[in-house]
Amino acid sequence: MSLRHARLSRTNFRATSPDRKQFHDAAQSWSRVERIIARVEAGLQGTDTRFIVTSLEGGRAKHLYQRLYCARGRAENHIKAWKNHLAADRTSCHAAEANQFRLFLHAGAYWLLWSMRRVMPKHSVWRVMQFDTLRLRLIKLAARVVELKTQIKIHLPSSAPDQAIFAMLLDRLPRLVT
């Protein structure tokens, strides 16, 4: 497809799904025509438009958007959660071994928070909650811990707002170890 033909057919979108369209276009600074996938959502809060410029020829627009573009976004969100919510990018010690151990502890904290989020009820806000919110609401609690011969009891204050979720979480977490 030539640059001139792509610019003339810019408004002739080919529908690939109700909210995704694809077309070929080239910006003035581009040397060739590229495939562009647009995802448009309109709701009560306004419109949300996303564009993907790709050189991939095959594949449906919906597949490329959901399987490749969104998967990349999820991976970047995992990295962001690890760095920002767990401060895993703090390697300020002079000794490499200390920094390596610090990263090891941060990886363990990430696994714990990810596991806590995974065992939450499906379709609940807890399942998609950010790590810093989970940490503040479920881990940074004032509690009295009583160590018995065969068990550990955690006594939460009567004013703890998320006692039911905390009890459900403690019931489900042992499944992660087995």
Predicted local confidence at residue 175, as pLDDT: 63
**Beta carbons of 16 and 62 less than 8 angstroms apart:** yes
**Nearest Cα residue to 116 out of 143, 108, 87:** 108
Q: pLDDT tens across 24-81, in order? A: 888 888 888 888 888 888 878 888 888 888 888 887 888 888 888 888 888 888 888 8
Question: CA–CA separation, 178 vs 35, rounded Å?
Answer: 48
| Mean pLDDT of all residues belonging to the chain | 81
